[in-house]
Amino acid sequence: MAERTQPSPKIGGSKFRIGINVGDIIIDEDDIYGGRRQHCRRIEALASPGAICLSENAYAQVKGKLTIDVSNMEAGA
């Protein structure tokens, strides 16, 4: 991923934003539905370019299991 986000003379660089939540979704052929999907979209919108934003529930499930730098960010802050 780091290589893909490096600037290139031809196409420039891009930064991904990722939102992670835990819950059920509905997959219907090529579409994904459900409130959890919308929740992920709102969480992703809070992430800075190049960052990953987790819901409280997702963070609770990985807390202490991964070595990651975490900052607390309240929605609307």
Domain span holding position 38:
18-62
Look at residue 12 and tell me if it is in a domain: no
Whether the Cβ atoms of residue 76 and residue 42 lie closer than 8 Å to each other = no
Look at residue 29 and tell me if it is in a domain: yes
What is the distance between the alpha carbons of residues 39 and 12, in angstroms, rounded to a whole number?
30
For 12, the token pair is: 């420039």
For 46, the token pair is: 């809070």
Q: What is the pLDDT of residues 8-57, one digit of tens each?
A: 666 556 678 888 888 777 788 887 776 666 777 788 888 888 888 888 88
What is the distance between the alpha carbons of residues 38 and 16, in angstroms, rounded to a whole number?
18
What is the distance between the alpha carbons of residues 53 and 36, in angstroms, rounded to a whole number?
14
In the chain, how many domains are there?
Answer: 1
- Whether the model clears a pTM of 0.85, i.e. scores above it, the answer is no
Q: What is the mean pLDDT of residues 48-67?
A: 86
